[in-house]
Amino acid sequence: MLLSHFVKIYDNMNCHLYGKLIYNKLIGTALLIVLLLLNMKHAKTNIFEELPDSLNGWTSENVILLNDKVSLYDYIDGGAELYISYGFKKAVSRKYIKQGQPEVIVEIFDMNTSENAFGVFSNTRYEEDSSFGQGSQYVEGALLFWKGKYYISVMTTEETDESKGLIYKLGRIISERITETGNRPGIIDLLPSEGLDKSSILYFYHYIWVNSFYFIADEDFLLIGDKTDAVLAKYGSQGNRSYVLIIQYDDNETAGKAYNNFINEYFPEGEFRAISQLEDNKWMSVKLIDNTFYGVFNGITEEYVSALLSDIELTYKKINIDYK
């Protein structure tokens, strides 16, 4: 549009030399404007500054910036550790108030990577839809979602029609203004799809979360530490649940140590079998493939655990074509 406009101006100048000089200047300016516009379109949004000061009669005066662990501790005390365990970088909080309505609090966490943002989300949601961002859950006055490297919470202490309306509105604004999307952690691709409860996938890299679905042990004998990628997921339906744990180590040696720790602690009398039945009559198995530890727990039958293990191996082969 801009270029054609300048071309028309040039034509009207009848190719005069002076006109040519002007033409060159105009073309240069036009190109500069186009480049600036393109740059603006693709510039990363600073979502921390994008929250409105007022909306539908609700106002927000204070912005609280949480730019380190200490300020996060001050803000949510022990709750801060969850975010720190997923690589918290910084966050912003705004409180919206309106006469006669409960307050609505918005918190946007910059988790540094999309994998971390998904991780926090996966740790707290138990159902998932795609209404907001790259995955969300709404629970009676609380909207939680993730998009790109951000994890977002919009909540009220008391759900009313108005406070719920504001939560949805703010959720949409934030979701639209975060222009970047991001990937979920690659380790999730190792989960077989058959029977997987997708809303249960829990990604983590801090050993604290290994017992999230099923108590395995009270110490970090699987050597997860605070930087080893791991994922937990539920298979089957309520009343017939099995749990899959996958841990991907930096090297085969650590993976081997973790595997041996498991065998030694769970089967100290050497009674380990490829698929074992525990004293609660449930079946389980652990397997080591290269640098990756697999555990299948709480299986109703030996056959089910065996089938799940086969799926695990097939999935691994598809992703790691060198695996033999």
**Site of interaction with other proteins (CB under 8 A):** 73, 75-83, 105, 107, 109, 123-126, 137, 139-142, 144, 153, 155, 157-159, 208-209, 211-219, 221, 238-239, 241, 261, 264-268, 278-280
Provide, rounded to whole angstroms, the least separation between the CB of residue 289 and other proteins: 23
| Residue 85 contacts residue 226 (beta carbons within 8 Å) | yes
Phi and psi at residue 122, to the nearest 5°:
-65, -25
Provide, rounded to whole angstroms, the least separation between the CB of residue 88 and other proteins: 11
Provide, rounded to whole angstroms, the least separation between the CB of residue 43 and other proteins: 28
> CB-wise, 8 or 78, nearer to other proteins?
78
Rg (CA), the chain: 27
Q: How far is CA 19 from the centre of its chain?
A: 57
Provide, rounded to whole angstroms, the least separation between the CB of residue 323 and other proteins: 29
> CB-wise, 48 or 266, nearer to other proteins?
266
Provide, rounded to whole angstroms, the least separation between the CB of residue 57 and other proteins: 24
> CB-wise, 106 or 289, nearer to other proteins?
106
What is the torsional sign of CA 152, 157, 161, 166?
Answer: negative
What is the rounded distance in angstroms from the CA atom of residue 119 to the CA atom of residue 116? Answer: 5
- Kindly state the greatest CA–CA separation across the chain: 98
For 6, counting Cβ atoms within 10 Å of its Cβ (0-12 exposed, 13-18 middle, 19+ buried), the class is middle
Report the phi/psi class of residue 15: left, alpha or beta, with left for phi > 0 and alpha for psi in -120 to 50.
Answer: left
> CB-wise, 105 or 305, nearer to other proteins?
105
Provide, rounded to whole angstroms, the least separation between the CB of residue 255 and other proteins: 17
User: Residue 138: beta bridge partners?
Assistant: 143
> CB-wise, 6 or 75, nearer to other proteins?
75
> CB-wise, 60 or 123, nearer to other proteins?
123
